[in-house]
Amino acid sequence: MRRTNIQLDAQGRLRHFLTIEGFKRQMLVDILDTAESLATVTDQSVKKVPLLRGKTIVNLFFEASTRTRTTFELAAKRLSADVLNLNIASSATKKGESLLDTLHNLQAMHCDMFIVRHEESGAAHFIAKHVAPHVSVVNAGDGRHAHPTQAMLDMFTIRRCKGDFYPLNVAIVGDILHSRVARSQIHALTTLGVNEVRVIAPKTLLPKDVEALGVHVYHDMKAGLKDVDVVIMLRLQNERMSGALLPSEHEYFNLYGLTEEKLAWAKPDAIVMHPGPINRGVEIESSVADGPQSVILQQVTHGIAVRMAVMSMCLGTVAQPTGGEA
Amino acid sequence: MRRTNIQLDAQGRLRHFLTIEGFKRQMLVDILDTAESLATVTDQSVKKVPLLRGKTIVNLFFEASTRTRTTFELAAKRLSADVLNLNIASSATKKGESLLDTLHNLQAMHCDMFIVRHEESGAAHFIAKHVAPHVSVVNAGDGRHAHPTQAMLDMFTIRRCKGDFYPLNVAIVGDILHSRVARSQIHALTTLGVNEVRVIAPKTLLPKDVEALGVHVYHDMKAGLKDVDVVIMLRLQNERMSGALLPSEHEYFNLYGLTEEKLAWAKPDAIVMHPGPINRGVEIESSVADGPQSVILQQVTHGIAVRMAVMSMCLGTVAQPTGGEA
Amino acid sequence: MRRTNIQLDAQGRLRHFLTIEGFKRQMLVDILDTAESLATVTDQSVKKVPLLRGKTIVNLFFEASTRTRTTFELAAKRLSADVLNLNIASSATKKGESLLDTLHNLQAMHCDMFIVRHEESGAAHFIAKHVAPHVSVVNAGDGRHAHPTQAMLDMFTIRRCKGDFYPLNVAIVGDILHSRVARSQIHALTTLGVNEVRVIAPKTLLPKDVEALGVHVYHDMKAGLKDVDVVIMLRLQNERMSGALLPSEHEYFNLYGLTEEKLAWAKPDAIVMHPGPINRGVEIESSVADGPQSVILQQVTHGIAVRMAVMSMCLGTVAQPTGGEA
């Protein structure tokens, strides 16, 4: 029996983009290929294509994030869409309107896409289940669950730097437990078929069943970084510092902070990635963040192209093959 | 002697849209007809027409309202206008600049239209009296006075559902006293010539002179809904609950909340309307709000077309007959 | 040895616009001429030209200012640019990201221009020194240092009213000490070669070395306004009132507030200017601000054209002569 994937339409084309889970390898490759063709747009003098002209994209942010909102807003504008920025915490809910009523109203206004950010895991799925057939939903981060466009821009960056996924060893370092970014990255890397995905973290920052995701666990940077092609550093949330999960910022940096010395344990041509914003001197040393192996700012650039690709694929304005279900 | 109507220009064409009062029936019909022709725009794949290209529309909101601001912003963008959102409470007045100076500055910047929301009755009129000849003002709700675009989207919805206004009996239920929506609806319904307008409310929520507006007063839902074609429920402001005007939310719902049982007292094909946002279980039961007779979400959709019509008529970018004065 | 000017590119064309200092007279004339050709755009029915289509302009405001932000936003939209409004105080810095990291991220997103407002003098220069070669920076006011687009719109207004700069006597009245506007005006007026620049203020509101800027100092309005063609009133910041710098608002108005009586001391055809927002009855009487000699609202109108000129010159989308360095 085929499992239906809410993210695909009846023809197997991308409709929502909520999580990497459930996609076949080919769908991820299609997204990367579409992003590649759109990446040239931002290099042009006139950085605009009319793919989403007349479409209305709503940034539906229940959790504030200027940075992520900005990347989606720029991607939408470069596709010639109209953009509405709604900070839901401060508007409808004040008057006691329910989330579903807000959604139904926005789609009655013929909005075409909701970019959803929410502090609760599953929020984007919940919304996708309740929207009208003409509306698409893109998850811009939900609780600890997923941040799939971030993962895809990371894959885009890896492919641009390394060419092929198969031979790569990739290490993800830091607070895996609380990171929706790490979860989405792990699913994307395993689906795209890298040789090995490693997570490097203290036990207190790892989910219990993390090996079930297909990763190898390391608690030590030296062992974990050996033979690695890609080092992905995670942001350490300041609020974890004061809790029982971490001894101290200083000790964390000593053990897991990426320094030039530790980076030397990876392959000489390893690239260093970080989803941003960076805590300099906490999870990464400035000389590494700004160094020759860092591709952190390329990630930001690629984020625009990848979000343009996901938006235009979901709204059916670029050609896409069918059959992306896992 | 002809009474001059500030809302019309010297040729009798629509210039400002501040209140329904003072308009002839034909002007309201023109607005509905223009909205009908623009309603198809939002059904197209590219939801945009160039009617207001190069025009600057300013959302001048002295009272916060994400929902109303959003509908005007979408309407303006679908007409290809540029939109400025100004929350006046938090900007110029801080530095002590007067309202008129703010207006004069905005029109010196060649802004073409002010969409005004203000907690004081008469604010939009005051602004319309003081703007330059090239500037139009649309009232998006002033105190307890008027909310004319809301009334016109309601008329549009009634006409779409019922065809003709003449034979209709329309009941407006709830807090008439504090409702700018109800005042504008009553003027629109009587101008368009419905058979009967009824208001149904407890005495404490009715203005003293309400019958002078040409309505019949009912305090009882069963009598008031008999033979009615259109039931318009008003939002009950939460802040009224704790005051002396209402016994309790529970008792209000028992007497005036619209349930399936009470709706059965109206005609079998009666439609149910509500300006939103809905207080489910306060003034309306969910099974009615989401039921087959509800046209609440159609109202939202029609709100875009009606606002596009009013904006393009005021700015003279669509043809309109003259002579709309009452 | 040629002193390099960070505001010019290698070919001597405008790249950043941070301060009037360091520009040759010809560059200022080029800006005024370009603004003159763009001023007609805002008089057209479709107030839009495609000069910056596909460009992304970021309003990077570290100090809130709805008014200034609005003029830049309108100027950018009328050039068909995409505009991002970022209030930095409330976004990235919350998460501890450094200013430079924020900048690097925005330019990695292919933003083309930063409009910078900051409470610290030198902030726009600092940012200009650190941006990538494809990015331009426009100073929208930094501390007490400079507000060069304000000065250029003032020059544009003077030229439109008076034709030629050479014969003019110009008086700047008020709080010179704290005014970035006054500093930029003085540099622009002396560079453009007016006959005489005067500052009129109490000693407590004058910088110590003000005469080194090439101005004549007056403490008395009657003497200072004699034979003057242009009177520029400065805004008196309310926060100066309560300090030791000023005796009282009332006494300040008596001595330096511009009244019809005092204005009569200037030439009969003298024009009155003010950067806004006006404190009526504090530094200027309403009958003067709204009177026949006032060009205050023309200044606002010209501000759009001048900002359009500076933006399109910095981004190289209009032809400009080279050799603007002092």
Pick the residue of B44, B46, B71, B85 with the most A CBs within 10 A to test the interface with A by mutation: B46
Residue C101 CB neighbours (<10 A) = 19
User: Which two three-digit tokens encode residue A10?
Assistant: 């009846």
Whole-number Å distance between alpha carbons of A79 and A90:
28
Taking an 8 Å cut-off on Cβ atoms, the answer to whether B108 and C301 are in contact is yes
Q: Which has the minimum average pLDDT: A86-90, B200-204, B304-308, C139-143?
A: A86-90
Nearest to B268 by CA among B287, B295, B292, B298: B292
Per-residue pLDDT at A2: 47
Backbone angles phi, psi at C186, to 5 degrees: -60, -45
- Does A59 contact chain C (CB < 8 Å)? no
Peptide bond into C277 cis (omega under 30): yes
Work out the pLDDT band at C97, boundaries 50, 70, 90: low
Mean pLDDT confidence for B49-78: 94
Taking an 8 Å cut-off on Cβ atoms, the answer to whether A54 and B70 are in contact is no
Q: Residue B58 pLDDT > 50, yes or no?
A: yes
Residues of C in contact with B109 (CB under 8 A): 70-71, 74, 300-301, 303-304
Work out the pLDDT band at A238, boundaries 50, 70, 90: low
Report pLDDT digits (tens) over A173-213.
999 999 999 999 999 999 999 999 999 999 999 999 999 99
Report pLDDT digits (tens) over A249-276.
788 899 999 999 999 999 999 999 999 9
Q: Residue A16 pLDDT > 70, yes or no?
A: yes
Q: Which of B48, B78, B277 is the closest to A101 by Cβ? A: B277
**Residues 6 or more apart from C202 whose CB is under 8 A from it?**
C219, C246, C252, C255, C256
* Nearest chain C residue to A73, by CA: C84
Report pLDDT digits (tens) over C110-167.
999 999 999 999 999 999 999 999 999 999 999 999 999 999 999 999 999 999 999 9
Whole-number Å distance between alpha carbons of A81 and A57:
7
Nearest to A209 by CA among A177, A247, A171: A177
Residues of A in contact with C98 (CB under 8 A): 280
Per-residue pLDDT at B2: 47
Mean pLDDT confidence for A91-113: 80
Give the distance from residue A136's alpha carbon to the nearest chain B alpha carbon, in angstroms. 14
Nearest to B61 by CA among B20, B97, B102: B102
Work out the pLDDT band at A321, boundaries 50, 70, 90: low
Per-residue pLDDT at C260: 98
Mean pLDDT confidence for A294-301: 97
- Does B79 contact chain C (CB < 8 Å)? no
Work out the pLDDT band at C321, boundaries 50, 70, 90: low
Peptide bond into A275 cis (omega under 30): no
CB A196 within 8 A of CB A227: no
Mean pLDDT confidence for A52-78: 94
Work out the pLDDT band at B55, boundaries 50, 70, 90: very high
**Residues 6 or more apart from B211 whose CB is under 8 A from it?**
B217
Whole-number Å distance between alpha carbons of C129 and A276:
23
- Does C53 contact chain A (CB < 8 Å)? yes
Peptide bond into A247 cis (omega under 30): no
- The type of residue at C285 is E
Residue-averaged pLDDT of chain C: 91
* Location of structure tokens 């916060």: B64
Give the distance from residue A6's alpha carbon to the nearest chain C alpha carbon, in angstroms. 31
CB A295 within 8 A of CB A162: no
Touching C (3+ Cβ pairs <8 A), the chains are A, B
Strand order in the sheet with B113-118: B82-87, B56-61, B113-118, B136-142
**Class of domain B25-147+302-314 as given by CATH:** alpha beta
CB C89 within 8 A of CB A274: no
Q: Are domains B25-147+302-314 and B148-299 of this chain identical in fold?
A: yes
CATH number of B148-299: 3.40.50.1370
Per-residue pLDDT at A8: 95
Work out the pLDDT band at C309, boundaries 50, 70, 90: very high
- The type of residue at C149 is T
Work out the pLDDT band at B44, boundaries 50, 70, 90: confident
- Does B59 contact chain C (CB < 8 Å)? no
Work out the pLDDT band at A241, boundaries 50, 70, 90: low
* Nearest chain B residue to C71, by CA: B109
Burial (0-12, 13-18, 19+ Cβ within 10 Å), B163: exposed
* Nearest chain A residue to C89, by CA: A66
| Residue ranges covered by each domain of chain B | 25-147+302-314, 148-299
Nearest to C123 by CA among C175, C43, C62: C62
User: Which two three-digit tokens encode residue C109?
Assistant: 């997103």
User: Which two three-digit tokens encode residue C122?
Assistant: 């030198």
Per-residue pLDDT at B243: 64
Strand order in the sheet with B271-273: B216-218, B196-200, B169-173, B230-233, B271-273
Pairing mode of beta strands A230-233, A169-173: parallel
More confident residue, C89 or B276: B276
- If you average pLDDT over each of A149-158, B311-320, C93-102, which comes out highest? A149-158
Per-residue pLDDT at B92: 46
Report pLDDT digits (tens) over C269-283.
999 999 999 989 889
Work out the pLDDT band at B1, boundaries 50, 70, 90: very low
Residue A162 CB neighbours (<10 A) = 17
pTM of the model: 0.93
Mean pLDDT confidence for C309-325: 80
Give the distance from residue C184's alpha carbon to the nearest chain A alpha carbon, in angstroms. 32
Q: Which of A45, A71, A304 is the closest to C54 by Cβ? A: A45
Mean pLDDT confidence for B8-31: 96
More confident residue, B55 or A99: B55
- Does C97 contact chain A (CB < 8 Å)? yes
Give the distance from residue B294's alpha carbon to the nearest chain A alpha carbon, in angstroms. 14
Residues of C in contact with B79 (CB under 8 A): none
CATH superfamily of A148-300: Aspartate/ornithine carbamoyltransferase (3.40.50.1370)
Q: Residue B126 pLDDT > 50, yes or no?
A: yes
Residues of A in contact with C73 (CB under 8 A): none
Q: Which has the minimum average pLDDT: A148-152, A197-201, B274-278?
A: B274-278
Q: Residue C238 pLDDT > 90, yes or no?
A: no
CATH number of A25-146+303-314: 3.40.50.1370
More confident residue, B293 or C40: B293
Taking an 8 Å cut-off on Cβ atoms, the answer to whether C46 and B53 are in contact is yes
User: Which two three-digit tokens encode residue C24?
Assistant: 């040759």
Per-residue pLDDT at C92: 46
Residue A40 CB neighbours (<10 A) = 11
DSSP output for A188-256: HHHHHT-SEEEEE--GGGS-TTGGGGT-EEES-HHHHHTT-SEEEEPP--HHHHTSSS-S-HHHHHHHH
Give the distance from residue A62's alpha carbon to the nearest chain C alpha carbon, in angstroms. 15
Instruction: Provide the chain B residues 146-165 that lie in CB contact (below 8 A) with chain C.
Output: none
Taking an 8 Å cut-off on Cβ atoms, the answer to whether A74 and C56 are in contact is yes
User: Which two three-digit tokens encode residue B44?
Assistant: 């197209």
Q: Which has the minimum average pLDDT: C45-49, C93-97, C98-102?
A: C93-97
- The type of residue at A18 is L
- Does B73 contact chain A (CB < 8 Å)? yes
Helices B296-314 and A99-108: angle between axes, nearest 10 degrees: 50
Whole-number Å distance between alpha carbons of C168 and C146:
23
Give the distance from residue A97's alpha carbon to the nearest chain B alpha carbon, in angstroms. 6
High-pLDDT (> 90) share of chain C, %? 80
CB B114 within 8 A of CB B138: yes
